[in-house]
Structure 1
């Protein structure tokens, strides 16, 4: 993971030349999604980075079916392969992902594509605001269909926890909960069946990994933050959130800080489905 982030200027230069000097031909994915506004396509049509394709988090970066699997299970290989073809991604491409709010949703695409075996996936640091603040233009409208991509995916490159192993990880290592503190403490639960958190987890809201400009904090700042939460060097660090979306954002921050995080994709939305599973509340 020599490259995780890219700047707006670097992306602009790559789009002008057609490729990254230290990578391959560039493909850009717009992954706008919010819990209160899951369909980001209208915002994409209103204005997006030129050449970008819209990636639907709900239908392309997640699977749907048994609610016991959580709200955003990882996409099946067939679903993701179809999406990669639709996005026009070939083997050897450099894929850049972004959204409009600190990359809280586009990090999901980064994680899913990295897990699928794509070796060069980068996040636009500062997200769409960084692009517009740099003075670069936006394109409007719905682009035509891309030439079908030829990249073949092979999921399983990234380590994961499941519902059977996450509690033991919280006991034997460090398990970070990336949700807002009030949800961790069980003071409110607007989406999932029960309030609270997985016993043994530590509250680590992922928004604290960003600075005031919406960019990721410096690696040494992130290391200090995670060390203060108990993640000393060599510690096994797992992360989860509500449904596995912002947990991917926390995983990016952990990678930047020099950790090898393990993601629990089912997250609280899966854990809380079974009333027989324990739940803790409070700080």
Structure 2
């Protein structure tokens, strides 16, 4: 299968929609933290890219024994959603969100993990699109003609489960590198988790790499701010600062497997995207992330003392 860049600029996306409108589908994958007053569906109806449809990451998901949201869907759930959106296996799918870059990488991770390589994140999302002066639409989108999307198989290396993380935590040598996208204070255990009653801290054999280390802030002409991905050299530098040059080289050579994690499996995909831009190949994501790990009483939780 051909390899496609995981990101696309707003200019590239505009040209793609102009030149190949029947071969491209756009999905708004905006998602907000549970305590946010913002409503992604209402914002979508008020303003979205031309022809875009809404991807609800909590809806296109599997159920979880602990009640966790936006877990990786089954192949059938994913295929059914693609058929509803008019997406075929050869469709170029452009994914964006209203933060700039925040939840769209999770959507891309889902598509790529099911083998849909022709999928990209719109760098800067809706804010960058608006800031460049491109047109938007409002209201409910026109329902596309339903397609046939064969049920795909999830890549066996895409997702790590709890048992794999426990096993990795217990290893004294040759452990996989675990990158934690939460804030450093939550990783250290000095700040509380957003979920009431959940301990902060981190898993053994993990490194703190807050997701915003891979992002840069931009100021739009209206004064609002949004995020874009940093240039690849800066992403490389941020990774080196987190794990050291020796581990970085092992990651890039494919000698060191990496697992990304965060609070609930959302911003871990930003780290996954950055690693994809660095062409790291042995990268997985711990789907339930810290929430699932820390909810279990048997989990080993470490806190930093310095």
Could you tell me how far 1:151 is from its partner in structure 2? 2.5
1:232 paired with 2:248, answer: yes
RMSD (CA atoms): 1.9
- Per the alignment, residue 48 of structure 1 pairs with 48
Change (3 A) 1:182 1:254: same
- Per the alignment, residue 223 of structure 2 pairs with none
CA contact (8 A) 1:39 1:56 kept: no
CA contact (8 A) 2:58 2:69 kept: no
SS of equivalent to 2:154: coil
Which of residues 193, 199, 202 is equivalent to 1:197? 202
SS of equivalent to 1:129: helix
Change (3 A) 1:227 1:169: farther
- Per the alignment, residue 105 of structure 1 pairs with 103
- Per the alignment, residue 298 of structure 2 pairs with 276
Q: What stretches of structure 2 of length at least 5 have no aligned partner?
A: 219-226, 251-255
- Per the alignment, residue 266 of structure 1 pairs with 288
Size of the alignment, in residue pairs? Answer: 277
Runs of 4+ in 1 over 6 A off after TM superposition: none
User: Scaled by the length of structure 2, what TM-score is found?
Assistant: 0.85
Task: Answer with 117-126 or 193-202: which moved more.
Answer: 193-202
Task: Answer with 49-58 or 205-214: which moved more.
Answer: 205-214
1:165-176 equivalence runs, <5 A = 165-169=164-168, 171=171, 172-176=175-179
> For the residues of structure 1 that align with 2:129 and 2:105, how far apart are their CA atoms?
17
Which of residues 148, 151, 173 is equivalent to 1:150? 148
Change (3 A) 1:89 1:83: same
Change (3 A) 1:264 1:65: closer
Change (3 A) 1:206 1:153: farther
CA contact (8 A) 1:169 1:238 kept: no
User: Scaled by the length of structure 1, what TM-score is found?
Assistant: 0.91
- Per the alignment, residue 160 of structure 1 pairs with 159
> For the residues of structure 1 that align with 2:100 and 2:303, how far apart are their CA atoms?
28
Task: Answer with 168-177 or 193-202: which moved more.
Answer: 168-177
SS of equivalent to 2:94: strand
- Per the alignment, residue 179 of structure 1 pairs with 182
Which of residues 193, 217, 222 is equivalent to 2:230? 217
Change (3 A) 1:15 1:2: closer
Answer 1 or 2: which has greater strand percent.
2
1:241 paired with 2:240, answer: no
SS of equivalent to 1:96: strand
